[in-house]
Amino acid sequence: MKTEYQDDAEYPKSLDNNDPLGHFRQRFFLKKNYIYMCGNSLGLATKDAEECVLEVMEQWKNEGIKIWTVDDNKYYLYSKYLSKLMAPIVGADADEICIFGGTTINIHQGISTFFKPTKDKYKILVDDLNFPTDRYAVDSQVRLHGYEPKDAVKVVKSNGKFMDEDEIINAMTDDVAMVFLPTVYYRTAQVLDMVKITKAAKERGILIGWDLCHGVGAIEINLKEVDADFAIWCTYKYLNGGPGSSAALYINRRYHTRLPGLAGWYGNKIETQFLLRQEFDHQQDANGWQIGTPNVLSMASLEGALRVINEAGIPNMRKKSLHITGYLMFLIEKKLSDYGFTVGNLREDSKRGGHVCLEHDEGYRISIALKSRGIAPDFRDPNVIRLTPTALYTSYEEVYKMVEILLDIVKTESYKAISKNRNYVV
């Protein structure tokens, strides 16, 4: 069913007044006259996150080394504690998830655990649109096995913008040992059908891992139904875990007895970890894939953030996200299409993630102009302004105001005064 929107200034106010998730805005640190559209990159801080970080500081100040054992070993077993909060967000069991390290590190952990090339089956299948860190990790993993990426990394070509799922499946030839793909593309927000692609891989005896970075917290994910072999994701985007907050790794329970590719003492069984033996005694659940001491401060902010997400519920968040991004696309088409703007993402709900991909030939300079007008977007080459009205802290009125500002920037051509020289972080 097509949603009907209106383009007047009163309409967003009525949407905000009737927004069942509207009260969650109070849980975030929002700045007056600053419209935050960058939750696809770094989610905003919650008051809950601050509370949890301050609690860790108090424990550290008061207890020193005893911080590890307060609250029934909460911080010593922090991954286990947080996995319970993470499980409903990705539809997995808590013991299939561990929270540790960083996204790229966890890609290495997943691939090094599962990539066991043989003479005839030694390739990793990837695509040419994924975030580059995934590719760098894949290339280096095949090199560790003595292969050259140009031979052992099989790249499915996109049309430059979108990926065709059937082409991915057709590329699953006998020589492919593993597939590694993103669930939502970082530039265009295209969603891949994880169930269909995973099923195809399994039918061909190929292992499969997913990068959920741009999906988690934005779309509904049911890892039980997907039944992939492993998955990794960051926690600082739609989950609002904080800059560089610890990442996550899912290991399907059918592999819990397998040894991790990268072992460390935190993957040892809890019961024998402090016996400090020379032999690794593997913890046989996802926590056995941890490597070293947990980054407690960057896990504390995640604890607070996950509490808020679980209160709101992913299905409710997805519903609002689809509606508010739909409203943004409607306004772009209604008010901005005469000024060189186009919506660059796919339209079907099942095929688009949490951000709107606004394209313009002058996208870079317009994104800088937006920043100078109190909006936080980001820009991705060659021409994409990513805009993310989030379910929990963006109002419909902010979306309306942002489109009015965009209109003003292009009508007055104020962006033309901005240098084309690029900043390091865009």
Under rule CB under 6 A, residue 378 binds ligand PLP: no
Longest dimension (CA), the chain: 70
Binding residues with ligand PLP: total (CB under 6 A): 12
Under rule CB under 6 A, residue 134 binds ligand PLP: yes
Place of tokens 């604890």: 303
First to last CA, the chain: 36
When the beta carbons of 82 and 406 are compared against ligand PLP, the nearer one is 82
Under rule CB under 6 A, residue 188 binds ligand PLP: no
| Joined tokens for residue 92 | 């997995």
**What does the DSSP assignment read for 336-350?**
IGGGT-EE-S--SGG
When the beta carbons of 181 and 300 are compared against ligand PLP, the nearer one is 181
Report how far residue 188's alpha carbon sits from residue 344's, in angstroms, rounded to the nearest whole number: 7
CB of 214 to ligand PLP, least distance (A): 6
Under rule CB under 6 A, residue 234 binds ligand PLP: yes
Under rule CB under 6 A, residue 42 binds ligand PLP: no
Considering only 7, 50, 84, 104, the residue that binds ligand PLP (CB under 6 A) is 104
403 φψ region: left (φ > 0), alpha (ψ -120 to 50), beta (else): alpha
CB of 336 to ligand PLP, least distance (A): 26
CB of 369 to ligand PLP, least distance (A): 24
Report how far residue 249's alpha carbon sits from residue 194's, in angstroms, rounded to the nearest whole number: 17
Report how far residue 325's alpha carbon sits from residue 222's, in angstroms, rounded to the nearest whole number: 22
How many C-beta atoms lie closer than 10 Å to residue 387's C-beta? 29
| Joined tokens for residue 189 | 């927000």
Please name the helix (run of DSSP H) or strand (run of DSSP E) that holds residue 155, with its range, or none. strand 153-156
CB of 213 to ligand PLP, least distance (A): 4
Q: Which x/- pattern over 196-215 shows residues binding ligand PLP (rule: CB under 6 A)?
A: ---------------x-xx-
Residues 242-301 contacting ligand PLP, CB under 6 A: none
Considering only 16, 30, 55, 133, the residue that binds ligand PLP (CB under 6 A) is 133
| Joined tokens for residue 109 | 């952990």
Residues 64-103 contacting ligand PLP, CB under 6 A: 102-103
**What does the DSSP assignment read for 41-57?**
TSPPPBHHHHHHHHHHH
**What does the DSSP assignment read for 272-323?**
HHTT--SS--B-SSGGGG--SS--HHHHHHHHHHHHHHHHH-HHHHHHHHHH
CB of 101 to ligand PLP, least distance (A): 9
Under rule CB under 6 A, residue 390 binds ligand PLP: no
When the beta carbons of 137 and 343 are compared against ligand PLP, the nearer one is 137
Give the three-state DSSP class for 181: strand
CB of 232 to ligand PLP, least distance (A): 8
Q: Which x/- pattern over 213-232 shows residues binding ligand PLP (rule: CB under 6 A)?
A: xx------------------
Considering only 131, 162, 265, 280, the residue that binds ligand PLP (CB under 6 A) is 131
**What does the DSSP assignment read for 10-35?**
SHHHHHHHT-TTGGGGGGB---TT-E
Of 23-31, 131-139, 195-203, 270-278, which part binds ligand PLP (CB under 6 A)? Answer: 131-139
When the beta carbons of 234 and 329 are compared against ligand PLP, the nearer one is 234
Under rule CB under 6 A, residue 186 binds ligand PLP: yes
When the beta carbons of 168 and 234 are compared against ligand PLP, the nearer one is 234
Q: Is the C-alpha dihedral spanning 396, 401, 407, 413 positive or negative?
A: negative
Report how far residue 354's alpha carbon sits from residue 190's, in angstroms, rounded to the nearest whole number: 10
Under rule CB under 6 A, residue 310 binds ligand PLP: no
CB of 267 to ligand PLP, least distance (A): 19
Under rule CB under 6 A, residue 43 binds ligand PLP: no
**Amino acid, single-letter form, for residue 353:** G
Cβ–Cβ under 8 Å, residues 392 and 28:
yes
Cβ–Cβ under 8 Å, residues 42 and 28:
no
When the beta carbons of 117 and 209 are compared against ligand PLP, the nearer one is 209
CB of 226 to ligand PLP, least distance (A): 17
By the criterion CB under 6 A, which residues form the site for ligand PLP?
102-104, 131, 133-134, 182, 186, 211, 213-214, 234
